Amino acid sequence: MFEVLTGTGLAASAGLNAYIPLLTMGLLARYTDLIDLPSGWAWLGNGWVMAILAALLAVEVVADKVPVVDHVNDVVQTVVRPTAGGLAFGAGSSAETVTVSDPGSFFSSHQWVPVVTGVLVALGVHLLKSAARPVINATTAGVGAPVASTAEDATSVLMSVVAILLPVLVLFFLVGLVASLFWFRRRRADRRREREAARAAGFRV
């Protein structure tokens, strides 16, 4: 159960920022005893891999804080974040394989389940983030982009650490995520009604 919560938390974190959970796992595995990666995922603690992840993270952090550029970045990350989520869930839930050397064995042994689960979790969080960002940019004239992005990065870091150290707290994050989804859907419906009402008022004038 805790392994599933750890994988879910890491995948959700990847939905906000693809590189933070992977880099967090690599750093903790290499320099602490807080996490022991399965042999198939030991590459996350490789120095070169962590250096590449850190460089990609730097680009992501900057790009995600600039209005318009953040939208382009979100489009690109539609592939990257779910992929990272699959890797994060697989490593976090102790899946034993990363590369598929025997496709038949891979699917028959259900080793693909953690990876696909992570992809879906990260994709859901990514889509919510991508849908919310244009609303934030429009309502704040772009000023809210760096604030929202910083909050997302901080949440991604916190969620990655919590998922590894206190996975039970991931449940509270998931509840908050569902609540945010309902709030966003309601907010978007309200904005649609406001636009329709304004349009109708303009026609009457």
pLDDT band for position 57 (cuts 50, 70, 90) = very high
CA 121 to chain centre: 8
Residue 81 within a domain: yes
Residue 177 within a domain: no
Residue type, 65: K
Residue located via tokens 């849908």: 131
Residue 192 within a domain: no
Residue 180 within a domain: no
Residue 63 within a domain: yes
List pLDDT tens digits, range 87-141.
888 777 664 333 444 555 555 555 667 778 888 888 888 888 887 777 777 777 6
Residue 193 within a domain: no
Whether the Cβ atoms of residue 28 and residue 10 lie closer than 8 Å to each other: no
Residue 17 within a domain: yes
Provide the domain count of the chain: 1
Q: Which domain holds residue 157?
A: 2-169
Residue 44 within a domain: yes
pTM metric for this prediction: 0.75
